[in-house]
Amino acid sequence: MAPMDRRKFLSRATVAIAAAIGIGWAVPGVAYVLSPAKKKTGEAEWIVLGAADRVDIGTPSLFKAKVTKTSGWVSTEAEVAVYVVTHDGREFRGFSNVCTHLGCRVRWVADQNEFFCPCHNGVFSVDGQVVAGPPPRGLDEFPVKVEDGQIFVSLEA
Amino acid sequence: MSDRVGGWLDERTGWRLVWDGVFLRQVPKVNWAYTLGSATLIVVVNQIITGILLTIYYVPSVQDAYATVDFISHDLTAGWLIRGMHHWGASAMVLLVGLHMVRVIYHGAYKFPREITWLSGVGLLVLTLAFGFTGYLLPWDQKAYWATVVGTRMLEVTPLIGDWALRVARGGDDLSAVTLSRFYGIHVWVLPAILLLLVGLHLYLVVRNGISAPPKKGE
């Protein structure tokens, strides 16, 4: 290799230092701009609904819970309502109370043994299946689990 | 390859003349104190880059200012670093322009033919302090708020126009949403525009007149 003269060495060293400084700005800068884009996936967030023994066998019970949604630096509180159903006190299922037709709230009518939507007379069975009326599909189901007698729901799925 | 591209561009833009004039000009034998101006320029570039990055998330309203600064510092990847570089860069700016000025005074480098370089430098010094003062309010925390209450109150002791000057600085009688908003506008639009003009003039003059050699004994 030919010996490098002083001028060439200083010129290359200057470029190398400038590049290092440039990278020092660019790497954190790009990470900073892109970081809100990375969404946490894989871990479902479980929301406490209430005591499992509040649910009568065969009768859907409505649970309401407040959830805080955070987007950036703004937090908003929203209320979630979930009908929890069990047929044996061990297996629990959670259904949205939002009608799949046009988004009205359905309610459980005990003496008819069905969910009823007052807007357009949509009817769902105890397991969320469409029985009558315009709804295009059954009630949305959320994953539910019971731990230490408390019901948890995940709204992620 | 890069020679061919460079030559192609040079035929059409003459960039080599400018490049050589800036980077290959003759300089007298000098010492490290002569790097203070360049060091200041690097920090200016740092303030521009990190400042632009901060505006991506910062919101200058009384509801959001503190929350967005908190979000930048604790939730974003490297947000603490970007904000830290802007914060410490601001202090470095004041320090470096001060030392730079002392060097120029000490060597008498402000004399003919460099008076305009000196005067633009005085403008840049004032600008640096204005940047510092307006930027200090933007996090909208207790320290920022009360420092600006005190800082703007100093205007009040100005003879004759004191009350008026205070109201102009605050945009009203008290420090408010108006103050925050206009300090932000001044900090990110007004001052940088003047800064770029003055830095351009300052650098042009440094290149045109060359830098002064350290005075010899007896001079």
Tell me, yes or no, whether A28 and A105 share the same domain. Answer: no
What's the average model confidence in pLDDT over B1-20?
A: 90
Q: Is the pLDDT of residue A42 over 80?
A: no
A96-114: buried (b, 16+ CB within 10 Å) or exposed (e) per residue? bbebbbeeeebebeeeeeb
The token pair at A153 is 């729901």
* A82 within 8 A of A96, measured Cβ to Cβ: yes
Alpha-carbon gap, residue B18 to B23, rounded angstroms: 9
At B120, is the secondary structure helix, strand, or coil? helix
The residue assigned the tokens 């570039």 is B45
CB contact B68 to A (< 8 Å): yes
Q: Quick one: pLDDT at residue A43?
A: 54
Q: Quick one: pLDDT at residue A78?
A: 83
Q: Is the pLDDT of residue B188 over 60?
A: yes
Tell me, yes or no, whether A86 and A115 share the same domain. Answer: yes
Cβ separation B76–A28 shorter than 8 A: no
Tell me, yes or no, whether A146 and A124 share the same domain. Answer: yes
CB contact B102 to A (< 8 Å): no
CATH number for position A94: 2.102.10.10
Tell me, yes or no, whether A91 and A51 share the same domain. Answer: yes
Q: Quick one: pLDDT at residue B36?
A: 96
CA A136 to chain centre: 23
**CA B106 vs CA B33, B36, B100, B120, B215: distances in Å:** 11, 13, 10, 18, 10
Describe the strand order of the beta sheet including A74-86 as a list of residue ranges. A61-71, A74-86, A92-96, A141-142
What lies within 8 Å, CB to CB, of A18 at 6+ separation is none
The CA radius of gyration of chain A, in Å to the nearest whole number, is 28
Tell me, yes or no, whether A50 and A20 share the same domain. Answer: no
The ipTM value here is 0.87
Q: Quick one: pLDDT at residue A4?
A: 86
Q: Is the pLDDT of residue B1 over 60?
A: no
In a domain, A39, yes or no: no
Tell me, yes or no, whether A13 and A63 share the same domain. Answer: no
Q: Quick one: pLDDT at residue A26?
A: 97
A89-144: per-residue pLDDT in tens?
788 889 988 899 898 999 898 888 899 998 998 899 888 889 888 899 988 888 88
How far away is chain A from the Cα of B71, in angstroms, using its nearest Cα?
A: 6
At B150, is the secondary structure helix, strand, or coil? helix
Number of independent structural domains in chain A: 2
In a domain, A149, yes or no: yes
* A154 within 8 A of A45, measured Cβ to Cβ: yes
In a domain, B154, yes or no: yes
Tell me, yes or no, whether A63 and A140 share the same domain. Answer: yes
**CA B32 vs CA A52, B35, B38, B39: distances in Å:** 75, 5, 11, 11
Number of independent structural domains in chain B: 1
A60 vs B93, more confident: B93
Q: Is the pLDDT of residue A18 over 80?
A: yes
Tell me, yes or no, whether A141 and A73 share the same domain. Answer: yes
In a domain, A81, yes or no: yes
CATH number for position B170: 1.20.810.10
In a domain, A136, yes or no: yes
Q: Is the pLDDT of residue B219 over 70?
A: no
What's the average model confidence in pLDDT over A52-57?
A: 83
Tell me, yes or no, whether A110 and A79 share the same domain. Answer: yes
Alpha-carbon gap, residue B151 to B157, rounded angstroms: 11
In a domain, A38, yes or no: no
Tell me, yes or no, whether A80 and A146 share the same domain. Answer: yes
Q: Is the pLDDT of residue B197 over 80?
A: yes
Q: Quick one: pLDDT at residue A133?
A: 87
CB contact B64 to A (< 8 Å): yes
CB contact A20 to B (< 8 Å): no
In a domain, B3, yes or no: no
CB contact A34 to B (< 8 Å): yes
B49-69: per-residue pLDDT in tens?
999 999 999 999 999 999 999
In a domain, A2, yes or no: no
Closest CA to B70 of B78, B79, B62: B79
The share of chain B scoring above pLDDT 90, in percent, equals 88
CB contact A28 to B (< 8 Å): yes
The token pair at A58 is 């065969």
Instruction: Using CB atoms, pick whichever of A25, A35, A74 lies closest to residue B76.
Output: A35
Q: Quick one: pLDDT at residue A90?
A: 83
A99 phi and psi, to 5 degrees? -65, 135
| DSSP for B173-189, written as a single string | SS--HHHHHHHHHIIII
With beta carbons under 8 A apart, name residues in chain B contacting A28: 77-78, 81-82
At B172, is the secondary structure helix, strand, or coil? coil
B105-150: per-residue pLDDT in tens?
999 999 999 999 999 999 999 999 999 999 999 999 999 999 999 9
Q: Is the pLDDT of residue A59 over 90?
A: no
The whole domain housing A15 covers 7-32
Tell me, yes or no, whether A127 and A101 share the same domain. Answer: yes
CA geometry: angle B28, B33, B36, nearest 5 deg: 105
Tell me, yes or no, whether A92 and A27 share the same domain. Answer: no
How far away is chain B from the Cα of A48, in angstroms, using its nearest Cα?
A: 25
Instruction: Using CB atoms, pick whichever of A25, A32, A74 lies closest to residue B76.
Output: A32
Q: Quick one: pLDDT at residue A46?
A: 83
In a domain, A40, yes or no: no
In a domain, A41, yes or no: no
At A147, is the secondary structure helix, strand, or coil? strand
Give the confidence band of A41 by pLDDT, cuts at 50, 70, 90.
low
Give the confidence band of B86 by pLDDT, cuts at 50, 70, 90.
very high
Alpha-carbon gap, residue B13 to B19, rounded angstroms: 11
What's the average model confidence in pLDDT over B28-52?
A: 95
Instruction: Using CB atoms, pick whichever of A27, A29, A73 lies closest to residue B49.
Output: A29
Alpha-carbon gap, residue B53 to B83, rounded angstroms: 9
In a domain, B12, yes or no: no
The whole domain housing B59 covers 28-208
